[in-house]
Amino acid sequence: MRVHQYSVALDEGGKSILVKDFARNYAGLDRLNNPGKVAKLMRDMFQLHLRAEEYLYLICMNIKGRPIGFFETFHGTCDTAIANPREILVRALLCGAASILIVHNHPSGSPEPSQSDDVVTERVQNAANLVGITFFDHIIIGGNAYYSYQQEEKLSTKNPEK
């Protein structure tokens, strides 16, 4: 799998555009169709389990669950990363995503979701549904463990095609 990380910039006319930050190969995967694969990739490629502050990443996927773009969307403090659905959807729409998932870390080492994690998950899922994008999962990485809203059946979405 080729991992493409993008950011968003403004063009000369003040419109949002995608800017490729980097592309790297990641062996052994072609789809992110289960939370364990996502957590492993985020640990291996982005060292998310070792970060001292919270980072929230957006992964945009095509209709078959193949990633088409990774975005470091928010960077917070040691215990908070404010996530706004608008910034998530701007990125998803710019890259033509059919489905998305978000991943963030808990530097405390515990992947258990907070009340604010639950609120963010619900807001992002509702916003994605409004524009016809499937919200696949919200995964929290804490140390070597992870929490998946999908696995815990706290989402009303289905797996991308396997």
pLDDT above 50: residue 75: yes
Mean pLDDT of 119-129: 96
DSSP for 18-29? EEEEEEEE-TT-
SS3 156: coil
pLDDT in tens, 125-156: 999 999 999 999 999 999 999 999 999 999 86
**Cβ 24 vs Cβ 2: under 8 Å:** yes
Helix (H) or strand (E) holding 90: helix 85-94
Which numeric CATH code is attached to 31-148? Answer: 3.40.140.10
pLDDT at 74: 93
Higher pLDDT, 160 or 1: 1
DSSP label of 53:
S
How high is the mean pLDDT of the chain?
Answer: 92
Lowest model confidence (mean pLDDT) among 19-23, 96-100, 144-148, 154-158: 154-158
Mean pLDDT of 44-67: 94
Strand partners, 139: 103, 148
Mean pLDDT of 56-77: 93
The token duo for 149 is 């809203």
Mean pLDDT of 47-56: 95
**Cβ 69 vs Cβ 6: under 8 Å:** yes
Tell me which residue has tokens 């060292």: 47
- Residue 84 to residues 3, 8, 19, 124, 142, Cα–Cα distance (Å): 24, 15, 20, 8, 22
Q: How far apart are CA 52 and CA 56, in angstroms?
A: 13
Q: Place 161 in a pLDDT band, splitting at 50, 70 and 90.
A: very low
Query: What percent of the chain lies above the pLDDT cut of 90?
Result: 81
pLDDT at 162: 41
Mean pLDDT of 104-115: 95
Mean pLDDT of 26-37: 86
pLDDT above 60: residue 158: no
pLDDT at 150: 95
